[in-house]
Amino acid sequence: MHEPLPPQGRMPGPRRADAARSYLAGLAAALLLTGAAFWVASTDLVYAPGVPILLGVLAIAQMGVHLVFFLHLSSAPDQANNVLALAFGILLVGVVVFGSLLIMHDLDFEMMPHQARPAVLCAACALHR
């Protein structure tokens, strides 16, 4: 049938004990990822060219922990608008970053003397021919 409505004055969502457990699990995961990032940055056990990639992976995992445990973002049907808003925000940030890099590359190409250009051109420079 129908689920009963929450009592007057109580917000829907996780109960207080469940929320506290979620926050503590998120805190533990965030501290573990932060410690792992500091360890990766300061150790010689990780292949040096792989350190930035591993730090990027840890940063993305950290963002996931914050979204799930602190912002309570999930794949539940009532969270569809939140997931779409997050995806749209990521898309906008990606467009701004990619566009800025493209503009800076074009400015570099236009302002650099053509005699000093290296012999190997990148794929984007082929557009300027």
pLDDT one-digit tens code per residue, 1-33:
677 665 565 555 566 777 789 899 999 999 999
User: Do 51 and 41 form a contact (C-beta atoms < 8 A)?
Assistant: yes
Q: Where are the beta strands (DSSP E) in 23-120?
A: none
Is residue 94 situated within a structural domain? yes
Helices (H) and strands (E) in the chain, counts: 3, 0
Query: With a threshold of 0.75, does the pTM exceed it?
Result: no
Q: In this structure, are 58 and 86 located in the same domain?
A: no
Contact predicate 70/21, CB 8 Å: no
Per-residue pLDDT of 78-119, as tens digits, reads 888 988 999 999 999 999 999 999 999 999 888 887 655 555
How many structural domains is the chain composed of? 2
Contact by Cβ (8 Å): 57, 33: no
Write down which residue in 31, 51, 72 finishes a domain: 72
My answer on whether 61 and 90 are in the same domain is no
